[in-house]
Chain A
Amino acid sequence: MIRDITLGQYYPADSILHKLDPRVKLVTTISFLVALFLVNSWVGYVVATIFLVSVIRLSKVPFPFMVRGLKAIFLILMITVVFNLFLTPGDRVLVHFWKLQITDKGLRTAIFMAIRLVYLIVGSSVMTLTTTPNDLTDGMERLLGPLKKLHVPVHEVAMMMSIALRFIPILLEETDKIMKAQIARGADFESGNLLQKAKSLVPLLVPLFISAFRRANDLAMAMEARCYRGGEGRTKMKPLVYARRDYLAYGTVMIFLAVIIAVRIVL
Chain B
Amino acid sequence: MIQADSLVYEYTRYDEEGRETDVTRAVDQVSLDIKKGDFVAILGHNGSGKSTLAKHMNAILTPTGGTMWVDGKDTKEEENIWEVRQSAGMVFQNPDNQIIGTVVEEDVGFGPENMGVPTKEIWERVEESLKAVKMLKYRHHSPNKLSGGQKQRVAIAGVVAMHPQCIVLDEPTAMLDPNGRREVIRTVRALNHVEEITVILITHYMEEVIYADKVIVMDQGRIVMKGTPREIFSQVEKLKSYRLDVPQATLLAYELKKAGVKLPDGILTREELVEELCRLS
Contacts of B101 in A (CB 8 A): 166
Q: How large is the interface on A (under 10, 10 to 19, 20 to 34, 35 or more residues)?
A: 20 to 34
> Given A3-B144, A3-B145, A134-B102, A225 and B85 touching (CB < 8 A)?
yes
Contacts of B145 in A (CB 8 A): 3
Interface 1/0 per residue, B119-155 and A, CB below 8 Å: 1001100100000000000000001110000000000
Asked if residues B98 and A235 are in contact (CB atoms below 8 Å), the reply is no
The distance in angstroms between the C-alpha atoms of A236 and B100, with both chains bound, is: 14
Asked if residues A235 and B119 are in contact (CB atoms below 8 Å), the reply is yes
Contacts of A134 in B (CB 8 A): 102-103, 106
Interface 1/0 per residue, B218-252 and A, CB below 8 Å: 00000000000000000000000000000000000
Asked if residues A235 and B97 are in contact (CB atoms below 8 Å), the reply is no
Q: Does B89 contact A (CB under 8 A)?
A: yes
B40 to chain A: closest CB distance in Å?
A: 19
Contacts of B70 in A (CB 8 A): none
Q: Does A170 contact B (CB under 8 A)?
A: yes
The distance in angstroms between the C-alpha atoms of A227 and B87, with both chains bound, is: 10
Which of B97, B98, B109, B159 has the most chain A CB within a 10 Å cutoff? B97
Q: Does A163 contact B (CB under 8 A)?
A: yes
Asked if residues A222 and B98 are in contact (CB atoms below 8 Å), the reply is yes
> Given A225-B89, A229-B82, A237 and B100 touching (CB < 8 A)?
no
Q: Give the A-B pair count, Cβ closer than 8 A.
A: 89
Q: Which residue of B lies closest to A167 (CB)?
A: B96
Q: Which residue of B lies closest to A238 (CB)?
A: B106
Asked if residues B119 and A222 are in contact (CB atoms below 8 Å), the reply is no
Q: How large is the interface on B (under 10, 10 to 19, 20 to 34, 35 or more residues)?
A: 35 or more
> Given A169-B144, A226-B162, A237 and B106 touching (CB < 8 A)?
yes
Asked if residues A224 and B117 are in contact (CB atoms below 8 Å), the reply is no
Interface 9-mer from A32-40, A64-72, A213-221? A213-221
Q: Does B178 contact A (CB under 8 A)?
A: no
Q: Does A234 contact B (CB under 8 A)?
A: yes
Asked if residues A235 and B94 are in contact (CB atoms below 8 Å), the reply is no
The distance in angstroms between the C-alpha atoms of A163 and B109, with both chains bound, is: 15
Asked if residues A237 and B85 are in contact (CB atoms below 8 Å), the reply is no
One of B92, B94, B123, B143 near A237 (C-beta < 8 A): B123
> Given A3-B144, A166-B101, A218-B92, A226 and B114 touching (CB < 8 A)?
yes
Contacts of A222 in B (CB 8 A): 90, 92, 97-98, 100
Q: Does B3 contact A (CB under 8 A)?
A: no
Q: Which of A155-179 contact B (CB under 8 A)?
A: 162-163, 165-166, 169-170
Which of B86, B89, B98, B101 has the most chain A CB within a 10 Å cutoff? B98
Q: Does A186 contact B (CB under 8 A)?
A: no
Q: Which residue of B lies closest to A227 (CB)?
A: B114
Asked if residues A162 and B102 are in contact (CB atoms below 8 Å), the reply is yes
One of A170, A221, A236, A238 near B144 (C-beta < 8 A): A170
Q: Does B260 contact A (CB under 8 A)?
A: no
A38 to chain B: closest CB distance in Å?
A: 37
Interface 1/0 per residue, A1-37 and B, CB below 8 Å: 0010000000000000000000000000000000000
Asked if residues B116 and A234 are in contact (CB atoms below 8 Å), the reply is yes
Contacts of B100 in A (CB 8 A): 163, 166, 219, 222-223, 226
The distance in angstroms between the C-alpha atoms of A233 and B144, with both chains bound, is: 29
Q: Which 8 A-B pairs have the closest CB atoms?
A: A222-B98, A218-B97, A237-B109, A227-B114, A225-B90, A226-B111, A237-B122, A233-B116
In addition to A3-B144, A166-B101, 11 A-B residue pairs with Cβ atoms within 8 Å of each other are A163-B100, A166-B102, A218-B98, A224-B60, A225-B89, A227-B114, A227-B162, A233-B116, A235-B119, A236-B113, A237-B105
8 sample A-B contacts, Cβ–Cβ < 8 Å, listed by A number = A166-B100, A222-B90, A222-B97, A223-B110, A226-B159, A227-B111, A227-B162, A237-B106
